[in-house]
RNA sequence: GGCCCCAUCGUCUAGUCCGGUCAGGACGCCAGGUUCUCAUCCUGGAAACAGGGGUUCGAAUCCCCUUGGGGUCACCA
């Protein structure tokens, strides 16, 4: 049976590159009625935590990718080839490691990281390629035994046999790594944990993984894995290496891009201490701030990163699946778009769902060349998906989206208002976030609205004869006595437009829009009025009329 | 730098394996149009085989070189 696995390291959320890998692994397995497993690669004790592992699970579930074996999470996981955390499989690795030492295919080495570091630096200075010099192989067995007995720190290195290595890859074809390219790499660290290379080989073999689908950054590692498999007497799985996903500027899409953007903004604005947010609190606590500035390896937690971005006035690039979720993208759209990065069904069809992918996926249609991530196309797909759904579904999704991340909209609107809010925004929204970012004015206290004399505002309110302001003043008493439903409101506006503005609805609607929203953009005007309700509409028109003098002055200066 | 991978419109791609349609689609862009704003929506348009050598009657397609891009060289995964 065909078995694939996705094996992330638990360093936070799932990023889009990983999501695509998981998706292709999933599709390959499902297409062949095989099994898809999830395994947490947490052999690096410094960067592992169990909660981060679960972040992946949430992201995968949200995308609609389920797994047959792996960590148990909301109905997924389980299985009898576990445990699925590498940190819980130590005895397995130890056993296989011992076998290699016994057969002379691996050996202990006692150099400290510092010693190796300086050797590398030397080689670099002499413009030589560095390779471990196998010094430990010259140690006699008594010395080795004595050093181990006294508890001296040591690693286990794999003794790389001579000869070229041929990698057979389903998407790249045959790749030959020349003889002498590999050094005797470490397979067990001084802390007793296996390195990635060793753990991955043992796990894939013991878990019955038949197809390894992973990013192309692992291509060079494959040679090492092949060697370990031979030494251990395991079969080689079938490999497929996926091209990388890049930012539009050609750089590799990385988790660090968010920190990169923030650092650039901090530098540009010349900040030395954490800036304060609206409430006067530091956007980032100072201990973390110092650490963050000190080392480019340190990443801000999501919370801090978002509040810092807000203060700095920059947009954080979406990198993780969770970022796209928060930005209001639909999971089926992200899946669809990701599928198209490096794979295509072979005809002109571009929009499809998971089921279509499952039914049609095959490795021989996977592209070798790297792809840039194009947010504009993703956005267009998201718009299509939103437009294609019915009103109830859009309302439901928007409601859930607000509950998760923007509860203030629910606090300031009753159920009927929110339903109208959803309906009025449905066809004009590219994301679930759009209605909220363009509709802040709906939930803002009337007194906080400010009108500024931008060009379109001047045009709508101050210019012309009669000026928009004049029409607005005439409209106010009409609305005061108007029945509060779409038809009546429309009639009132139309009547005024017919009488005073040459039947041009916009001449009345636009001043009205500016008065109630503070800006020139809103949902259709009658919807906007109904969502706000009579009281707020009348109040805002009044406030806007009061601002006429200062606005006129501002426009003149 | 060593080794490895990649190369069709700005972007994602079809076509490449099994040489032979004005190189097709989508997003974006540009120009018109519809609309109470924005977003939609409709119509039209510009836009690519990286370069150079071969092989061949014929090359986007096969071969070689060059150039460009990327990956990797840890007691990270």
* Closest to A230 (Cα-Cα) out of A105, A132, A391, A86: A105
DSSP state of A447: G
| No. of helices (H) and no. of strands (E), chain A | 26, 13
Q: What is the DSSP string of A105-118?
A: SEEEE---HHHHHH
Q: How far apart are CA A136 and CA A43, in angstroms?
A: 25
Could you report the per-residue pLDDT of A242-287, keeping only the tens digit for each? 999 998 777 778 777 888 888 888 888 888 888 988 788 888 888 8
**Which residue's CA is nearest to the C1' of nucleotide B72?**
A220
* CATH 1.10.10.350 domain span(s) along chain A: 446-556
pLDDT given at position A506: 93
Angle in degrees, CA A125, A127, A130, rounded to 5: 90
Read off the tokens for A383.
Answer: 């718009």
CA A9 from chain center: how many Å?
15
pLDDT given at position A451: 93
Pick the more confident residue, A292 or A209.
A209
Spacing of A529 CA from B33 C1' in Å = 29
- CATH 3.40.50.620 correct for A89-242: yes
Spacing of A367 CA from B58 C1' in Å = 28
Could you report the per-residue pLDDT of A450-460, keeping only the tens digit for each? 999 898 999 99
Q: How many C-beta atoms lie closer than 10 Å to residue A47's C-beta?
A: 12
Could you report the per-residue pLDDT of A361-419, keeping only the tens digit for each? 999 999 999 999 999 999 999 999 999 999 999 999 999 999 999 999 999 999 999 99
**Which residue's CA is nearest to the C1' of nucleotide B3?**
A181
DSSP state of A379: H
For chain A, what is the mean pLDDT?
A: 92
User: ipTM of the predicted structure?
Assistant: 0.94
Name the percent of chain A lying above pLDDT 90: 76
Bases of chain B below 7 A from a protein C-beta are 1-8, 10-15, 24-28, 35-41, 69-77
Could you report the per-residue pLDDT of A90-101, keeping only the tens digit for each? 999 999 999 999
Mention the CATH class of domain A446-556. mainly alpha
The partner residues of A242 in beta bridges, in order of sequence, read A215
**Which residue's CA is nearest to the C1' of nucleotide B24?**
A348
Q: How far apart are CA A319 and CA A489, in angstroms?
A: 45
Confidence at A541, pLDDT banded by 50, 70, 90: very high
pLDDT given at position A50: 58
Spacing of A489 CA from B75 C1' in Å = 73
pLDDT given at position A306: 87
Residues of A catalogued as catalytic: 255
Whether A413 and A531 have beta carbons less than 8 Å apart is answered as: yes
Q: How far apart are CA A40 and CA A31, in angstroms?
A: 24
For the ranges A126-135, A489-498, A527-536, A546-555, the lowest mean pLDDT is seen at A126-135
Spacing of A94 CA from B15 C1' in Å = 52
Could you report the per-residue pLDDT of A127-145, keeping only the tens digit for each? 778 899 999 999 999 999 9
* CATH 3.40.50.620 domain span(s) along chain A: 89-242
* Helices A525-532 and A534-546: angle between axes, nearest 10 degrees: 110
């Amino acid at each position: 049976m065909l078995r694939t696995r996705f094996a992330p390291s638990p360093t936070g959320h799932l990023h889009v590159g990983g999501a695509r890998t998981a998706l292709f692994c999933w599709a390959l397995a499902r297409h062949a009625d095989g099994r898809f497993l999830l395994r947490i690669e947490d052999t690096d004790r410094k960067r592992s935590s169990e909660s981060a592992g679960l972040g992946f699970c949430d992201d995968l579930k949200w995308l609609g990718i389920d797994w047959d074996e792996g960590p148990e999470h909301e109905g997924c996981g389980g299985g009898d080839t576990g445990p699925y955390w590498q940190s819980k499989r130590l005895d397995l690795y130890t056993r296989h490691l011992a076998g290699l030492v016994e057969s002379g295919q691996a050996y202990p080495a006692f150099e400290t990281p510092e010693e190796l570091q300086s050797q590398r630096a030397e080689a670099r200075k002499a413009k030589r390629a560095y390779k471990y010099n196998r010094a430990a192989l010259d140690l006699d067995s008594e010395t080795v035994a004595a050093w181990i007995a006294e508890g001296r720190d040591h690693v286990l290195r794999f003794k790389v046999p001579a000869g070229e290595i041929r990698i057979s890859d389903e998407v790249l074809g045959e790749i030959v790594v020349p003889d002498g390219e590999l050094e005797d790499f470490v397979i067990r660290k001084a802390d007793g944990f296996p390195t990635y290379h060793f753990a991955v080989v043992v796990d894939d073999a013991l878990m019955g993984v038949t197809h390894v689908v992973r990013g192309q950054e692992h291509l060079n590692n494959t040679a090492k894995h092949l060697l370990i498999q031979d030494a251990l007497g395991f079969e080689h799985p079938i490999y497929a290496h996926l091209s990388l996903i890049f930012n539009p500027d050609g750089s590799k899409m990385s988790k660090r891009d968010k920190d990169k953007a923030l650092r650039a903004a901090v530098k540009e604005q010349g900040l030395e201490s954490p800036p304060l947010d609206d409430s006067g609190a530091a956007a980032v606590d100072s201990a973390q701030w110092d650490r963050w500035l000190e080392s480019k390896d340190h990443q801000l937690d999501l919370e801090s990163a978002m509040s810092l971005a807000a203060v700095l006035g920059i947009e954080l690039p979406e990198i993780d699946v969770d970022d796209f979720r928060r930005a209001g993208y639909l999971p089926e759209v992200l899946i669809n778009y990701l599928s198209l990065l490096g794979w295509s069904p072979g005809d002109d069809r571009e929009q499809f769902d998971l089921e279509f992918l499952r039914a049609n996926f095959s490795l021989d249609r996977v592209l070798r060349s790297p792809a840039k991530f194009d947010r504009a196309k993703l956005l267009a797909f998201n718009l299509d998906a939103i437009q294609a759904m019915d009103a109830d579904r859009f309302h439901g999704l928007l409601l859930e989206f607000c509950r998760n991340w923007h509860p203030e909209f629910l606090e300031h609107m009753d159920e009927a208002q929110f339903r109208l809010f959803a309906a009025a925004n449905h066809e004009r929204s590219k994301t679930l976030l759009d209605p909220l970012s363009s509709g802040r004015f709906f939930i803002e206290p009337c007194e906080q609205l400010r009108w500024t004399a931008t060009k379109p505002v001047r045009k709508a309110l101050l210019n012309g004869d009669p000026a928009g302001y004049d029409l607005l003043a005439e409209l106010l008493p009409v609305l005061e006595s108007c029945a509060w439903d779409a038809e009546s409101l429309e009639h009132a506006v139309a009547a005024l437009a017919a009488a005073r503005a040459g039947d041009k609805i916009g001449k009345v609607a636009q001043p009205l829009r500016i008065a109630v929203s503070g800006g020139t953009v809103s949902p259709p005007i009658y919807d906007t009025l109904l969502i706000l309700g009579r009281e707020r509409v009348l109040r805002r028109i009044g406030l806007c009329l009061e601002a006429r003098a200062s606005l006129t002055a501002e426009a003149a200066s």
